Structure 1
Amino acid sequence: MCLSTEVSLATGTALVTIGGHCARTAWRRNRAYVPLAVVPVLFGVQQLFEAGVWVGLDRASPVLVKTAALGFLFFAAALWPCWLPIAAAAIEEQRAKRKLFYAFAWVGVGFALTVYLPVVARANDGFRVVPVRHSLRYDVSGVPTGVGALGALGQALYLAAVSVPPLLSQDRRVRVLGAGLVASAAVSELVYWYAFTSVWCFFAALLSLYLAFVVHRVPEPSDTRCSANALAAP
């Protein structure tokens, strides 16, 4: 995000470390939570890409800036609107809601095809990374895109894809994450509009640490069996 190479590097390293532990815990307790548990790891990698953007800018290396920026934008424009709905669907027991979440994942696929791929195709002249007020602005205005060209409607579709599935999750703790994503998007748009993508991704990365709490509240396998036995007892 904002501030410096050191902030992005430290944030990314912490997220990968904590997320790795979170993923191992989910694997042991309930594997349906693994897609959610690895979200901090993925955000950590995204922040490390942004650290690479800062390094490239400091060293006046256009190649490094472009490569790292494309890595960062892969997460922002392609992965998150697909991954978060799928992760929410993985823990959902209601079939109708799972179908809805998968529908949002297809919206994410639309972003990947009509936003990210055109950026990659025009990587040499279609977008710029500009430092603004200690933050980074990923300017893709030079790339004609499908969903992205919808303006406010495209932003609303993106926000819905990443936040509605967590908001409707059967796990009430996961709903907190969805609410946090909406609130942080509003703050980023109102206060940090000049570097919205970078700042919102940073806020979302910090919010993803909350998933460590969510995963650690998932019952142990032995607890689940004991609960089932207790319910079955006369």
Structure 2
Amino acid sequence: MCLSAPVSFTAAAVLVPAGAFAIWRTWRDDRRFVGIAALPMLLGFQQFAEGMIWIAGAHNDVASTAVFSLYYMFFAWIGWPVWIPISVYFTEPPRRHAPYLIFAVLGGMLGSVQFLPYLTHQGWLKVTLLEHAIRYSDVELLDDIISRPMTYLLYVFILLAPLLLASDRRLKIFGGLVGLVLAITVGFFQWAYISVFCFGGAVASAYLLWALRRAASPAPQPC
């Protein structure tokens, strides 16, 4: 949803209330899915931040651009790798909890190593406004240890594995959609991969909202 500020704000205006409704619905009907239901709303908050980046960048407001870029990247590096496995954790029976806690810890560790240096090293996160996308260029601590593609591969694994291993079929499908979005993004939009990914993320969120509309129905049996 990085095409422009209006598109980002429109996405936020749709996703935030839709996600809030999904949270209310799942809280009423099946509280195990509240964390999952919050994903569209959180994505909406992230898209609002990107809309503000568009505006601040267009006005050469360096300070505001930096603040909203950090807000955006917090979701990208720490929010999603921790929130997703924790959310799936609550949908699973106790005997299956341990792997999701491990994924959440790994996500927090990877995200912290990637994100926290932005707070202490000026210039490590650079934002460039392109014609229909925002490019986030950064320096990453892990570059001295493993290649950047391997870092991203680990990141994607932490994001997708909890969803694909979930007992609930709807979460498996959602994970598959997110994986497809990532594959398309990497294949065609590598120069703005994090930003463009949010467009497909919104599409996947639409499926998630649709799938959770019947949250009160009995949970699917484990596959």
TM over 0.5: yes
Between the aligned partners of 2:51 and 2:145, the Cα distance in structure 1 is 28
What is the aligned residue count? 218
Residue of structure 2 in register with 1:145 after alignment:
141
Residue of structure 1 in register with 2:12 after alignment:
12
Between the aligned partners of 1:181 and 1:62, the Cα distance in structure 2 is 32
Give runs of aligned pairs for residues 37-116 of structure 1, distance below 5 A.
37-93=37-93, 95=95, 97-116=96-115
Query: Structure 1 residues 66, 173: CA separation in 2 closer, same or farther (over 3 Å shift)?
Result: same
Query: Structure 1 residues 147, 175: CA separation in 2 closer, same or farther (over 3 Å shift)?
Result: farther
Q: Give the counterpart letter for 1:216 in structure 2.
A: R
> Which of residues 154, 165, 179 is equivalent to 1:168?
165
The answer to whether the 8 Å contact 2:2/2:198 transfers is no
1:41 is displaced (CA, Å) by 0.6
Deviations 1:105-157 (A, max 9, x none): 111111232001011222x32121012341011100xx342389632221111
The answer to whether the 8 Å contact 2:13/2:44 transfers is yes
Query: Structure 1 residues 149, 78: CA separation in 2 closer, same or farther (over 3 Å shift)?
Result: farther
TM-score with structure 2 setting the length: 0.92
Deviations 1:28-78 (A, max 9, x none): 001111000111110000000000100011111001111111110000011
Q: What SS does structure 1 have at the residue aligned with 2:212?
A: helix
Query: What's the C-alpha RMSD, in Å, of the aligned pairs?
Result: 1.8
**Unmatched tracts of structure 1, length 5 or more:** 225-234
Q: Give the counterpart letter for 1:146 in structure 2.
A: L
The answer to whether the 8 Å contact 1:26/1:37 transfers is yes
The answer to whether the 8 Å contact 1:130/1:138 transfers is yes
Residue of structure 1 in register with 2:133 after alignment:
135
Between the aligned partners of 2:84 and 2:117, the Cα distance in structure 1 is 22
Between the aligned partners of 1:101 and 1:202, the Cα distance in structure 2 is 26
The answer to whether the 8 Å contact 2:25/2:215 transfers is no
Query: Structure 1 residues 209, 30: CA separation in 2 closer, same or farther (over 3 Å shift)?
Result: same
Q: Give the counterpart letter for 1:193 in structure 2.
A: Q
Between the aligned partners of 2:94 and 2:169, the Cα distance in structure 1 is 14
Between the aligned partners of 1:148 and 1:50, the Cα distance in structure 2 is 29
Between the aligned partners of 1:63 and 1:148, the Cα distance in structure 2 is 29
**Unmatched tracts of structure 2, length 5 or more:** none
TM-score with structure 1 setting the length: 0.88
Moved more, 99-108 or 33-42: 99-108
Q: What SS does structure 2 have at the residue aligned with 1:158?
A: helix
1:206 is displaced (CA, Å) by 2.7
Residue of structure 2 in register with 1:204 after alignment:
201
Q: Give the counterpart letter for 2:141 in structure 1.
A: T
Between the aligned partners of 2:209 and 2:132, the Cα distance in structure 1 is 29
Q: Give the counterpart letter for 2:189 in structure 1.
A: Y
Residue of structure 2 in register with 1:21 after alignment:
21
Q: What SS does structure 1 have at the residue aligned with 2:2?
A: coil
The answer to whether the 8 Å contact 2:8/2:50 transfers is yes
The answer to whether the 8 Å contact 2:22/2:38 transfers is yes
Query: Structure 1 residues 149, 66: CA separation in 2 closer, same or farther (over 3 Å shift)?
Result: farther
Between the aligned partners of 2:88 and 2:109, the Cα distance in structure 1 is 19
Q: Give the counterpart letter for 2:118 in structure 1.
A: V
Residue of structure 2 in register with 1:227 after alignment:
none
